[in-house]
């Protein structure tokens, strides 16, 4: 998993591009900034990625300087979200649809060939977390997508072997088992 500085850096880069991104038709927006040394490259800017970085920073124990930075960034994001609420909602809905299809595709791949796909779960489940975070940003999820997500959750429940939190333990408090059961276990290969 990544560090607090990684997530704060992502949020900072996102804030600088957020208005332009929200007013575009794109789901994925290139950040063009470097991640902290020794950490993976930043993914593209998406609202799901932004919400995930927020959730992870809120789950972590931050230094006083990091807490100040986090507070300032979250305030700026909230201001832009309020100013561009309609664009935020449309972008969230569009991304929800795209991530739902990617999550469905992963579960289909796993069911066809568990051995070749089991090692992807810790990464792919990030899509399910983003779907959860995006849900609260959308005024109304199409019924067909709600049904699909519910069905996929049912499939996953039958495949998942429950266990310990699969991400860094320091994040567990921000992703409780009752809300994020798919982060507490793994698939069998």
Local structure of residue 29 (DSSP, 8 states) = B
pTM of the model: 0.95
| Crossing angle of helices 64-83 and 47-59, rounded to 10° | 150
Task: Show the tokens assigned to 165.
Answer: 């939190």
Query: What proportion of the chain, given as a percentage, has pLDDT over 90?
Result: 97
pLDDT beyond 90 at 1: no
Closest C-alpha to 12, from 77, 64, 61 = 77
Q: Residue 46: its pLDDT value, please?
A: 98
Q: Each residue of 128-154: pLDDT tens digit?
A: 999 999 999 999 999 999 999 999 999
Q: Each residue of 62-97: pLDDT tens digit?
A: 999 999 999 999 999 999 999 999 999 999 999 999
pLDDT beyond 90 at 175: yes
Cα→Cα distances 12→54, 87, 92, 123, Å: 11, 20, 20, 23
Q: Each residue of 3-42: pLDDT tens digit?
A: 999 999 999 999 999 999 999 999 999 999 999 999 999 9
Task: Show the tokens assigned to 144.
Answer: 């067909």
Could you tell me if 110 and 159 are in contact, meaning their C-beta atoms sit under 8 angstroms apart? yes
Alpha-carbon distance 83 to 149, whole Å? 30
Q: Residue 42: its pLDDT value, please?
A: 97
Q: Residue 14: its pLDDT value, please?
A: 97
Q: Provide the mean pLDDT of the chain.
A: 96
Cα→Cα distances 105→52, 97, 98, 111, 134, Å: 21, 12, 11, 10, 19
Q: Residue 189: its pLDDT value, please?
A: 72
Q: Spell out the domain ranges in the chain.
A: 4-85, 87-187
């Amino acid at each position: 998993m990544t560090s607090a500085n990684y997530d704060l850096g992502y949020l900072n880069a996102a804030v600088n591009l957020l208005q332009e991104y929200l007013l575009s038709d794109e789901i994925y927006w290139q950040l063009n900034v470097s991640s902290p040394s020794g950490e993976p490259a930043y993914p593209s800017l998406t609202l799901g990625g932004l919400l995930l970085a927020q959730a992870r920073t809120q789950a972590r124990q931050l230094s006083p300087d990091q807490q100040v930075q986090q507070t300032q960034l979250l305030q700026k994001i909230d201001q832009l979200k309020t100013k561009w609420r309609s664009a935020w909602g449309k972008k969230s809905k569009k991304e929800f649809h795209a991530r739902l299809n990617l999550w469905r595709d992963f579960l289909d791949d796993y069911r066809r060939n568990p051995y070749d796909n089991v090692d992807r779960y810790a990464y792919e489940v990030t899509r399910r977390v983003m779907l959860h975070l995006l849900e609260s940003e959308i005024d109304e999820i199409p019924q067909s997508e709600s049904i699909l997500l519910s069905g996929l959750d049912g499939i996953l429940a039958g495949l998942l072997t429950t266990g310990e939190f699969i991400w860094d333990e320091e994040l567990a408090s921000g992703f409780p088992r009752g809300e994020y059961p798919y982060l507490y276990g793994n698939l069998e290969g």
